[in-house]
Amino acid sequence: MGSVFSFFSETLTECRAVGRFVAVTMSLMLGILFRLMSGQAGRKDRADVPERGILQQNVQCMDTLQLAYDALRLRITNVFPDQVRAAVNALTDEQIWWRPNESSNSIGNIVLHLSGSLDHYLNHNLGGLDFTRDRPAEFNERRTIPKAELLARFDEMVANAQRTFDNLTIERLGEPSPEPRMATIVFEDIVNIGVHVANHAGQILWIAKMLEAGAIDEVWMRTHKDHVWKPKA
């Protein structure tokens, strides 16, 4: 009974972590939009506001946008990929491709899905990668692809993502989204991508914890210590 409670407690912690990530990201977005609107209102309706004050608002807005962008990049290209790798490396090939029923996805399918999705929405749409996606194939795969081959495909996508972010500029974040049905501006695309990766990383961790007790304990803390948290003074 204790081990079952521990499993669900750890998994709940992972879910709360994803929730915090989404909440913080959306709060940052709202703050940025509010500041932008305040700056525009100042220009049109408030002639008494000094130009320096408006400029300071815009600088603060850009600083906040840079922080949000950097936080998203760090999680999309480092934190979540390390969590996925930890889960995959903790399992056998058979466990990676286990599924509870034919209507559910294995970890292997989810890894293929993340690879295809990010190569399309991030690396093709925003980075110019020459890539044609076959989304149904990501979910229809039933071979037991060895973990080394599976991770090689995943790591290729992550390397592509690093190059995409290297070439993105803050100025591009306000441009119209290449997927207008799904987002308004490029920054919203990146938020959607981050939330999508967080969601599927959580699924992968859940399955891995269920199949191999204790194999990836404290993975959330470890990956954030490695990439996000600042060392103690």
CATH of the domain at 119: 1.20.120.450
Q: What Å distances lie between residue 144 and 129, 130, 171, 200, 206, CA to CA?
A: 28, 27, 43, 20, 20
Average pLDDT over residues 10-24: 50
Instruction: Using a cut of 0.85, tell me whether the model's pTM lies above it.
Output: no
Residue 233 lies in a domain: no
Least confident residue range of 58-62, 81-85, 97-101, 143-147:
58-62
Q: Indicate the pLDDT class of residue 229, thresholds 50, 70 and 90.
A: very high
Residue 232 lies in a domain: no
Residue 120 lies in a domain: yes
Q: What would the two tokens of residue 170 be?
A: 């803050």
Buried b (16+ CB within 10 A) or exposed e, 130-149: eeeeeeeebeebeeebebee
Determine the structural domain holding residue 17 and report its residue range: 2-227
**E strand or H helix at 45:** helix 2-45
pLDDT in tens, 175-227: 999 999 999 999 999 999 999 999 999 999 999 999 999 989 999 999 999 99
Residue 115 lies in a domain: yes
- Of residues 173 and 57, the one with the higher pLDDT is 173
Residue 72 lies in a domain: yes
Buried b (16+ CB within 10 A) or exposed e, 84-104: bbbbbebbebebbbbeeeeee
Question: How far is Cα 47 from Cα 25, in angstroms, rounded to an integer?
Answer: 33
Residue 210 lies in a domain: yes
Q: How many separate domains does the chain show?
A: 1
Strand partners, 53: none
**What integer best gives the mean pLDDT of the chain?**
84
